[in-house]
Structure 1
Amino acid sequence: MPAIHSSSQSAPHIVIIGTGFGGLGMAIQLKKAGIDHFTLLEKNDAVGGTWRDNSYPGAACDVESHLYSFSFEPKPDWSRKFARQPEILAYLEDCAERRDLYPHIRFGTEVVAAAYDEARYCWVITTRAGETIEAGILITACGQLNQPAYPAIPGVDDFAGPAFHSARWDHDVDLAGRRVAVIGTGASAIQFVPEVVDRAAHTQVFQRAGAWVMSKSDGAFSAKAKRRFARWPLLARLYRTAIYWKNEGRALAFTRWSALLKPFALMAQRHARRQMRDDDKRRRLMPDYPIGCKRILLSNDWYPAIDRETVDLVTEPIERIERDAVVTMDGKRHPVDVLIHGTGFKATEFLAPMRIAGRGGHDLNAAWQAGARAYKGITVSGFPNFFMLYGPNTNLAHNSIIFMLESQICYVLQGVQALCAGDIASLDVRRDREADFDARIQHALARTVWQSGCTSWYRNAAGRNTVNWPGFTFSFRRATAKLDLSDYHCEHGRHPAGP
């Protein structure tokens, strides 16, 4: 275990799970506040979270670079308007290096469970290796897109060739000259399929439902622009602010007046007509649900890729998978050499597969049986001194999740400071506060475009939206600007000494 620098022997040890944007951002702000008795637990061997895991060809962000980065860690020399995976990962690695976070990180440490010890006001964390770690404060920063979702298709395990999920891309597999099957046409697939068709001899794309795809106003920043951003930080700040307000206006369409999205549907349809010659493929690619109900995708090369003669678009449902083929419900057998799952993530299964036990051994999965919920997406009643980053109903469809994370980090930091002050040993959000907050969120969600009839990763099996925030990001920032201790049951006592 690396040396953990502690400014106070009596201060509670803080454990952060995950080293993506959330975990690193939390750690940076703790250090800036003079708190350095914390440890980051990372199950892999490098920082980066989803930007470490999703290294598939063509991986890129669909939020502009200057906004998809920490406000407190600006980067004036982004190479493109929409950064690609290697550059975002390098940015996170650089943040960790410059802020001296590596001494606080334990790599190769996967958390399988955490249980709250009420008598000692601490969390007992169990790792995959069987080690236990104690923490007075537990912060999870696991993200919503960290557990790949694999399709439940009969015979999927019988496939004899290379098979992998896009979030676990096997870079050792050479696709040149091979027949490739891609299952899924979501946000990842529209990025990697154009790369795959450039290499494969033949590609078959199996689509369950079409997606609304719009053009991406991407482009490289000139050397002159990067010099200006570096020389005049205020210019970069104003540019970032302009992007923010341009995106923020879209919240009205998603959460209030979905009719405002109709012009975007027309633009998406025109985008498809301009880029595709094959009318049959284009017709089958177009979705049958209202725009915005599922995630709107951005791409300039998706339609040209599907339009190629070496690409088959298969919309017949899959019946089974055999050793060397995908068989559809119409009885047609599609021979393939490589199988790629572009089937997304278990976004509604927060913190899975970890087991979190709070007061009285109460299991968080049991508390969330009807769907995940949390006060301001951050704290859960019955789970003291436990904070989540990117928790239930904090995702966005219109702006940068980094803005939301910074709001959450500010709120959590206040909770940490209250617990480090010495007189409060535990904070447990009041059940009535949590219930009232959740009721207001679900009421607001009922009028959003996400509830307009489609099936999406925003909603669980029961149809409850446990993922998205139904409003403006600045309203969330206001809601999280101040941690009010009256929202919490506070107990007084002493934490066990930190490491």
Structure 2
Amino acid sequence: MAGLTLAYKIEHEQKLGAFVDFTIYERQDDVGGTWLANRYPGLTCDVPIHIYTLPWCPKHDWSSFMAPGPEIRQYIRDASEKFDLVKFVRFNSKVISATWNDDVGRWDLEIQRNGEIIYDSCEVLVGAVGTQNTPFEPQIPGLSKFQGKFVHTGDWDDGLDCKDKRIAVIGNGSSGIQCFGALQKEAKSIVHYIRGPTWISMNYLAQFTKDGSNFAYSPKEKESFKDPTALLAYRQRLESLANGIFKNLVFQDTCQDVKKEFRASVEKLMKERLASHPELHGRLIPQYEPWCRRLTPGDDYLAAIQQPNAKLVDTPIESVTSTGLRTADGHTEEFDIIIAATGFVNSRVVPWTMTGLHGQTLASLWKDDVDGYLSVCAPSMPNYFSIGCGPNYTIANGSVLSSFGFVSDYVLKWARKIATEDIRSIVPRDDVIKQYNIYLQEVLRRTAWNGDCKSWYRKGRTNQYRTGITAIYPGSLMHFRSMLEEIRGEDFDIKYRSPNRFRFYGNGLTDLDMTDGADLAFYLQDTFRKENMLAPWWSSEDRNTLAGAGDRPGTTATSPQPDKQIQDGKHTSQPIVWSPVSLAPHPPGTPDHLSGNQMQAENQPSSLRDDL
């Protein structure tokens, strides 16, 4: 959805088609991104759907507060078709490599499409591949020996029949919780293998729900959202509260009472839902604080894990046998289906070979430390920007789809500058990247994400100043937006296509200057304010002076009549009219034929006068 947001900005919002030739290379056969790749049973948006809606394409008739995956998939198709964005997309096109050619200031691309290799090039390259695109398969000995069906939630087999099957689910992130809850109802038996407990919370923004659980919107509610004003107000209330999560629940220096209350409410909810099996409290309720890892709303899960056909196993898996799984305590269980709900490869490196300045690859630069610039730019990668897939992005700081718009605006500011100012390349300075990441890590230390838990947010090195957190931005969404409002050109090395960077100035005239009849004072409309007009300035003493003003060369004056000077609060007299030959009133003794600029030149030394 990041790429579609950029396309919408270019085509409709900013209308940049005159100087932006835009193409999206998409490796899948349709739009949808992660919602096309993920199709497992129970797939549901884990935030309220009205804040997981493209800001430029609202939808009034979502089925439920937390919408199901198939509905989101269709919504993305509908939005693409409504705004004719598919015309920019080349499907079944996998980028193999991108190599920077510094001599010409372009990226050379190698693309695999339908089994063939094609080539393209571009001045500006944008990575919008997301981070949830390459399934991470568990590294368990013997996996290849399993004679049953092995499937990953990120690469689901739509033909898989789970009814009355013996099923194992590995992992208790969002996909594991949702998948387990959905399959328990039809499985013969189902076992959940987890490494440790996780917080199973009420739904995000539960105050907008009836009982903290997901719910279907009523026909009356959907009808009310047909009013754009009502829909916008509802979305703003939701998104405003969601954008306050960082201050209220993540940043350690603020809102301590709110954090304590939130933890107590989630723990109370879990204990209530596990009331019939109190022995599960210690195995499912974490000791670390909420938000150390992503919260997982799961309306069905806690009920499902207590059913007769369900079981929880928190003993480590030792190996896979031909018929099932063996745990470290020696126990073996047989299964027909093993489901890996183990997430995706957590890498900020794009899934193609990317070679920038001096032959440096992004993979080698980020081998140990994933240091980027505002999650948007990368070291030694000129004219490259990322939307949503760079290091330390706002993936849990508020509305992620709104953040796509903020970054797109930033990218297009640079694109406009590069295109109009004859710039060959821009790249963030190494010293700036270093300083930025020192700052970033200092703030991350003061967040719940730096707590004592295992999280995919933390995949980097840890040392005296590094927290290891590479996935998430250390601030609120409002903070991120403010950081992107200016392009901060001082943070970049900029190279021009000409030895003189001012060549783009041209001949001193603009297109507007060359347009017959154009308004060359349009800018006054931006500054004029009726309420700023001064009150009438003339007084009775002025009238005698004004009466004689007509004797001055090139001037006329009309003295207002005493009884008609002001009528109903408005002036009825005519204003003073100066001779049209002048730009300003003539000083005494000035020849009538001189304009304001000419008068200034006459009073300057001859050398300066010649220049003028």
Q: Given the two structures, how large is their TM-score scaled by the length of structure 2?
A: 0.75
Say if 1:371 and 1:460, in contact at 8 Å, map to a contact too. Answer: no
Q: Which of 159, 164, 167 lines up with 1:172 in the alignment?
A: 159
Q: Which of 377, 380, 396 lines up with 1:379 in the alignment?
A: 377
Q: Which of 469, 483, 492 lines up with 1:465 in the alignment?
A: 469
Structure 1: runs of 5+ lacking an equivalent:
1-20, 495-499
Say if 2:370 and 2:460, in contact at 8 Å, map to a contact too. Answer: no
| Aligned match of 2:34 | 50
Deviations 1:226-278 (A, max 9, x none): 222222x1221121111122222221221234844332222222222222212
Pair 1:421 & 2:401 matched: no
Pair 1:23 & 2:3 matched: yes
Any idea what SS the aligned residue of 1:114 has?
Answer: strand
Deviations 1:291-320 (A, max 9, x none): 221111112111001011101111110000
Displacement of 1:122 in angstroms is 0.6
Answer with 42-51 or 417-426: which moved more. 417-426
Say if 2:427 and 2:492, in contact at 8 Å, map to a contact too. Answer: yes
Bigger relative contact order, structure 1 or 2, given CA contacts below 8 A and separation 6+?
Answer: 1
Pair 1:240 & 2:235 matched: yes
Deviations 1:421-464 (A, max 9, x none): 25112221222222222111111001111112212100115241
Say if 2:349 and 2:362, in contact at 8 Å, map to a contact too. Answer: no
Any idea what SS the aligned residue of 2:174 has?
Answer: coil
Identity of aligned residues (%): 29
Pair 1:491 & 2:495 matched: yes
Say if 2:397 and 2:477, in contact at 8 Å, map to a contact too. Answer: no
In 2, Cα distance between equivalents of 1:398 and 1:79 = 25
Alignment of 1:9-408 (within 5 A): 21-32=1-12, 33-36=14-17, 37-128=21-112, 129-216=116-203, 217=212, 218-231=214-227, 233-252=228-247, 253-257=249-253, 259=256, 260-276=258-274, 277-347=276-346, 349-390=347-388, 391-408=390-407
Displacement of 1:396 in angstroms is 3.3
Deviations 1:370-408 (A, max 9, x none): 232221110123111100011211133342211222211
Say if 1:394 and 1:469, in contact at 8 Å, map to a contact too. Answer: yes
Say if 1:114 and 1:357, in contact at 8 Å, map to a contact too. Answer: yes
Any idea what SS the aligned residue of 2:51 has?
Answer: coil
Any idea what SS the aligned residue of 1:274 has?
Answer: helix
In 1, Cα distance between equivalents of 2:426 and 2:326 = 54
| Aligned match of 2:206 | none
| Aligned match of 2:587 | none
Displacement of 1:44 in angstroms is 0.8
Aligned residues: 472
In 1, Cα distance between equivalents of 2:23 and 2:147 = 42
| Aligned match of 1:442 | 441
Any idea what SS the aligned residue of 1:370 has?
Answer: coil
Any idea what SS the aligned residue of 2:23 has?
Answer: strand
| Aligned match of 1:16 | none
Q: Quick one: which amino acid aligns to residue 243 of structure 1?
A: L
In 2, Cα distance between equivalents of 1:436 and 1:341 = 40
| Aligned match of 1:3 | none
Displacement of 1:352 in angstroms is 4.2
Say if 1:458 and 1:468, in contact at 8 Å, map to a contact too. Answer: yes
In 2, Cα distance between equivalents of 1:284 and 1:384 = 49
Q: Quick one: which amino acid aligns to residue 305 of structure 1?
A: A
Say if 2:127 and 2:350, in contact at 8 Å, map to a contact too. Answer: no
In 2, Cα distance between equivalents of 1:336 and 1:47 = 35
Say if 1:212 and 1:265, in contact at 8 Å, map to a contact too. Answer: no
Say if 1:176 and 1:199, in contact at 8 Å, map to a contact too. Answer: yes
Q: Given the two structures, how large is their TM-score scaled by the length of structure 1?
A: 0.91
**Alpha-carbon RMSD:** 1.6
In 2, Cα distance between equivalents of 1:426 and 1:235 = 45
Any idea what SS the aligned residue of 1:239 has?
Answer: helix
Say if 1:281 and 1:307, in contact at 8 Å, map to a contact too. Answer: no
Say if 1:289 and 1:453, in contact at 8 Å, map to a contact too. Answer: yes
Query: Which structure: larger Rg?
Result: 2
Say if 1:359 and 1:383, in contact at 8 Å, map to a contact too. Answer: yes
Displacement of 1:336 in angstroms is 0.7
Q: Quick one: which amino acid aligns to residue 132 of structure 1?
A: Y
Structure 2: runs of 5+ lacking an equivalent:
204-211, 463-467, 499-612
In 1, Cα distance between equivalents of 2:297 and 2:161 = 27
| Aligned match of 1:4 | none
Deviations 1:161-193 (A, max 9, x none): 111110111121111111001111111111111
Q: Quick one: which amino acid aligns to residue 495 of structure 2?
A: E
Say if 1:346 and 1:457, in contact at 8 Å, map to a contact too. Answer: no
Say if 2:129 and 2:350, in contact at 8 Å, map to a contact too. Answer: no
Say if 2:191 and 2:311, in contact at 8 Å, map to a contact too. Answer: yes
Say if 1:248 and 1:399, in contact at 8 Å, map to a contact too. Answer: yes
In 1, Cα distance between equivalents of 2:409 and 2:350 = 25
Say if 2:182 and 2:300, in contact at 8 Å, map to a contact too. Answer: no
In 1, Cα distance between equivalents of 2:200 and 2:27 = 34
Answer with 365-374 or 314-323: which moved more. 365-374
Displacement of 1:195 in angstroms is 1.1
Say if 2:460 and 2:469, in contact at 8 Å, map to a contact too. Answer: no
- Which of structure 1's runs of 4+ aligned residues deviate more than 6 A? none
